[in-house]
Structure 1
Amino acid sequence: MYSNGKNTAHSGEGRLVGNIINFVIFFVMFAAGVYTLGYWELHNAWVPTLVAFALMFLAFAIPMHLMGRADKAEDLIAASAAEQK
């Protein structure tokens, strides 16, 4: 994308290390949830199921919430630019 005749930087530039760290953290949370299902037995089903559900839910919900915030920022910027005109 060009702005004022100059090539603007990519929006994700310089965030590789943070993205990798976030991916590893949430992938480990998801894998731990799957791992806890290995302790599931008929006489002891509640604890592993609830722990697995909680870990897998958080591994998906937190990144989705963070990505949703990034989408809203663009709308806020566009709205404030429209108000200034």
Structure 2
Amino acid sequence: MYSNGKNTAHSGEGRLVGNIVNFVIFFALFAAGIYTLGYWTLEVAWWPTLVSFALMFLAFAIPMHLMGRAEKAEDLVAAANAHQN
């Protein structure tokens, strides 16, 4: 892709291994959350439910909120302006 006559790199270039590692870690958290529901019974319902909810919440919240912050519009605009100067 070209911007102002300069070749700009793809945003995900060179991050394949890190993306795969992150996917494996957070998929394992999600799978562990589903696995804990196997211990759910009418006598013991609170602990498996709370643990499952916590693991699944972490599996979605960490990548969505913490790791996605590098892609804020303000950061992208600031980086583009700094790159032009």
Please give the range of the TM-score, normalised by the shorter of the 2 chains: 0.7 to 0.9
Aligned CA-pair RMSD = 1.9
Matched position secondary structure for 2:14: coil
| Alignment match, 2:28 | 28
TM-superposed deviation, 1:75: 1.2
Partners in 1 of 2:76 and 2:42 — Cα distance?
53
Amino acid at match of 2:34: V
Query: What is the TM-score with the length of structure 2 in the denominator?
Result: 0.81
Q: Which moved more, 1:30-39 or 1:4-13?
A: 4-13
TM-superposed deviation, 1:40: 0.1
Matched position secondary structure for 2:56: helix
TM-superposed deviation, 1:44: 0.5
Matched position secondary structure for 1:11: coil
Q: Show CA shifts across 1:30-84 (max 9, x none).
A: 00000000000000011100100000000000000121x1232x31452584xxx
| Alignment match, 2:63 | 63
Query: Please, which runs of 5 or more residues in structure 1 have no aligned partner?
Result: none
Task: Give the length in aligned residue pairs.
Answer: 79
Query: What is the TM-score with the length of structure 1 in the denominator?
Result: 0.81
Q: 1:38 to 1:62 in 2, by over 3 A?
A: same
| Alignment match, 1:50 | 50
Partners in 2 of 1:55 and 1:30 — Cα distance?
6
| Alignment match, 1:75 | 74
